[in-house]
Amino acid sequence: MPAPDSRGADSGLGVDDALFRPVRSGNAFEDTVERLLQAVRLGVIAPGESLPPERELAARLSVSRDTVRDAIRSLADAGYLVARRGRYGGTFVRDEAEIASASVADAAGIADRRDRSRAEIDDVLDLREILELGAVRAAAGRALSAIERETLWSRLLETAASGVTDYRRIDSRLHLTLGELSGIPSLLPLLVESRSRVNALLDEIPLLERNLQHSNEQHERIVQAILRGDPDAAATAMAEHLAGSASLLRGFLA
């Protein structure tokens, strides 16, 4: 890390170490984004101050430098960080003047993301986990018909091929198809309501290309587990998938 005086007298080594501890390998990108956002929003790295070098962040978080670089680029695109060149260059937390000079829509979006309570976000995400883990376990435990199997695979391919503009909609359809395949009719209305609440949160954070690629890989593992009739593997893959989304939502909104 930079010398203590670059963080200010009150930064606290214990807090710093807690934020930059190793992340979970299953969702390295999403967890790295969450940790960096926490450091910014808790004031451990104050507006106008620089992030530690990529090499140091990668070592402390136990991720690759590519992962750190992608996380920093995503947060810069979202308006939280800015890169500066030159002798004193690096990646800096945007200060209030820089945020004010951004577009009105971007500045308002950054402010709005701070209005959600942690309890509200936890309620949405905890319910989602219960419902969707149960749905994929049930779907993997059923003998799916040829039409059901074909539909599931088609939904997977559609999601993987979708672009940023329509990703939320098509991703939602895949997740709701998993609910349909559970064979539990009364579960589907609960999943629809849950997904609506999740999407309301997702609409408040930026779509990150690296996260979409990772999500598509996780979707394939979930679908493959269901198609081979493995409830434990399906639930494990879904749990990892949901944890990645939860890391981003809590990072940006909580």
The answer to whether residues 205 and 116 touch, using CB atoms and an 8 Å cutoff, is no
- The pLDDT, as a whole number, for residue 182 is 95
Neighbours of 217 (CB within 10 A): 12
Please give the residue that has the higher pLDDT: either 117 or 133: 133
* Closest listed residue to residue 171, CA positions, set 207, 129, 133: 207
* Closest listed residue to residue 34, CA positions, set 7, 9, 67, 64: 67
Whether the per-residue pLDDT at 99 is higher than 60: the answer is no
Those residues with Cβ within 8 angstroms of residue 227's Cβ, 6 or more apart along the chain or in another chain:
144, 149, 152, 153
The reply to whether CATH 3.60.20.10 applies to domain 118-253 is no
**Average pLDDT score over residue span 35-39:** 89
Q: Highest mean pLDDT range out of 40-54, 81-95, 240-254? A: 240-254
The arrangement of secondary structure in 4-112, i.e. its CATH architecture, is Orthogonal Bundle (1.10)
Whether the per-residue pLDDT at 154 is higher than 60: the answer is yes
What are the tens digits of pLDDT across the range 71-98?
Answer: 999 999 988 999 888 777 789 998 754 5
Half-sphere exposure in the Cβ direction for 143 (13 Å, CA): 0
Considering the entire predicted model, what is its pTM?
Answer: 0.78
Domain boundaries, the chain: 4-112, 118-253
| Residue with tokens 């895949």, as numbered in its chain | 174
